[in-house]
């Protein structure tokens, strides 16, 4: 047998692990998103800075060009300028050159940094997309596990119930055989031994006192009749042949007629809907349920009235058996009763096996009502 608790705990642990992974991935995705925002801001700033530096470079380039032009002019006309002016022109041009070089260096660094940030941003975008995909996949996996495995465990549960039911039916059949063997042993087998003895006695009487043989033969005949009745009853209990020959309703009517006469209990039987032949295992099960209910009424209920209703619907059959007897405490009786043979629990299981359901309504002093419904597949 599969332990469903183990299966459940495996499912729960798997779901917990998946849940944890989902949380972690969610964390990763969250920090990637924050990092993405930060890098985006930095990129914007860097772009602004780069643009400003480029402007400055352009401006400084222009200034440097002017300074050089001026220097060339001074050099070409150096007799017009004094020494300090020439020196100053040199210095200015040199100064602008250094400034320009410095700014160009800055521009290069900023451009590199900008490219680096752009690459970073792409990678982060990818990370976010992939972790979102993972979260969706994990959620799907979790859904599969919860849906499929819980239906699987329901399936296994059902199979195990069926197996247990099968076992209890085998046990019930064995009990039934034991009962039949005992009945034959106590009834017909014993009477037949008796008949043989009586027949031997008749033979002896025939020699000694023939006038008494006639009486003795009558006795013998009674004995044979009684045995025949016993045998017929055993055969009927094993399987009422009218059930196969005529179907459920005639077999029940015959049984009920005999029952009412024998036990003095009034039974009102009604058949609703269009009566029809059912699958033979279904007919036997329904017959046995009514038979067991009537036996219970005779044994336990002290009732004098019984109502039986059989209703044939298009795709199912409903049966009701109600008595006006003493009723009983259902929960107490069913929890105490060690199931053996074909009692209340047996009939419930048998009906469940046929995919039907059976309910018992009763309380001390309130009579007993049994309702059942079984589907009748084509």
Residue 343 is a binding residue for Mg ion (CB under 5 A): yes
Contact 305, 343 (CB under 8 A): no
Residue 293 is a binding residue for Mg ion (CB under 5 A): no
Task: Name 26's Cβ contacts closer than 8 Å, sequence gap at least 6.
Answer: 131, 135
DSSP conformation class of 297: I
Site residues for ligand ATP per CB under 6 A:
296-297, 299-301, 323, 325-328, 333, 337, 340-341, 343-345, 368
Q: How far is the CB of 297 from ligand ATP (least distance, A)?
A: 5
Q: How far is the CB of 368 from ligand ATP (least distance, A)?
A: 4
With CB under 5 A as the contact rule, the residue among 227, 296, 324, 368 that binds Mg ion is: 296
Binding site partner of 356, from Mg ion, ligand ATP, none, Cβ cut-off 5-8 A by kind? none
The residue (of 283 and 323) whose beta carbon lies closer to ligand ATP is 323
> Hey, how many other C-beta atoms are within 10 angstroms of the C-beta on 29?
18
The residue (of 291 and 296) whose beta carbon lies closer to Mg ion is 296
Q: How far is the CB of 187 from ligand ATP (least distance, A)?
A: 18
Closest Cα to residue 287, out of 347, 370, 232, 369?
Answer: 347
Per DSSP, the three-state class of 306 is: strand
The residue (of 227 and 293) whose beta carbon lies closer to Mg ion is 293
The residue (of 4 and 333) whose beta carbon lies closer to ligand ATP is 333
The residue (of 53 and 285) whose beta carbon lies closer to Mg ion is 285
| HEC profile of 23-34 | HHHHHHHHHHHH
**Per-residue binder mask for Mg ion (CB under 5 A), 86-125, x = binder:** ----------------------------------------
Reported in sequence order, the residue ranges of the chain that DSSP labels E, i.e. its strands, are 266-273, 305-312, 316-323, 357-362, 368-375
Q: Give the span between the Cα atoms of 33 and 35, in whole angstroms.
A: 5
Q: Token pair 């109600």 is at which residue?
A: 322
Residue numbers at the binding site for Mg ion (CB under 5 A):
296, 343
């Amino acid at each position: 047998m599969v332990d469903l608790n183990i299966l459940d705990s495996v499912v729960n642990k798997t779901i917990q692990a998946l849940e944890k992974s989902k949380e972690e991935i969610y964390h990763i995705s969250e920090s990637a998103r924050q990092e993405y925002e930060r890098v985006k801001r930095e990129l914007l700033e860097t772009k602004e800075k780069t643009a400003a530096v480029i402007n400055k470079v352009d401006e400084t380039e222009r200034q440097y060009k002017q300074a050089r032009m001026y220097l060339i002019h001074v050099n070409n006309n150096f007799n017009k300028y004094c020494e300090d002016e020439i020196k100053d022109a040199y210095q200015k041009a040199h100064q602008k050159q250094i400034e320009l070089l410095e700014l160009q260096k800055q521009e290069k660094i900023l451009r590199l940094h900008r490219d680096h940030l752009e690459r970073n941003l792409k990678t982060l975008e990818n990370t976010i997309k992939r972790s979102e995909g993972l979260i969706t996949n994990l959620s799907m996996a979790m859904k599969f596990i919860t849906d499929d495995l819980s239906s699987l465990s329901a399936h296994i549960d059902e199979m195990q119930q069926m197996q247990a039911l099968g076992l209890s039916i085998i046990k019930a059949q064995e009990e039934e055989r034991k009962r039949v063997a005992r009945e034959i042993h106590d009834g017909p087998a014993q009477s037949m031994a008796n008949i043989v003895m009586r027949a031997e006695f008749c033979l002896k009487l025939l020699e000694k006192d023939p006038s008494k043989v006639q009486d003795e033969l009558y006795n013998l005949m009674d004995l044979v009749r009684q045995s025949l009745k016993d045998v017929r009853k055993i055969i009927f209990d094993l399987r009422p042949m009218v059930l196969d020959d005529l179907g459920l309703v005639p077999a029940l009517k015959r049984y009920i007629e005999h029952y009412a006469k024998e036990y003095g209990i009034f039974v009102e039987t009604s058949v609703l809907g269009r009566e029809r032949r059912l699958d033979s295992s279904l007919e036997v099960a329904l017959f046995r349920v009514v038979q067991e209910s009537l036996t219970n009424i005779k044994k336990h209920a002290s009732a004098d009235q019984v109502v039986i209703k059989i209703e044939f619907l298009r795709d199912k059959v409903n049966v009701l058996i109600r008595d006006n007897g003493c009723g009983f405490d259902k929960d107490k009786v069913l929890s105490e009763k060690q199931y053996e043979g074909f009692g209340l629990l047996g009939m419930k299981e048998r009906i469940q096996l046929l995919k039907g359901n059976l309910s018992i309504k009763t309380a001390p002093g309130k009579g007993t009502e049994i309702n059942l419904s079984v589907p009748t597949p084509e």
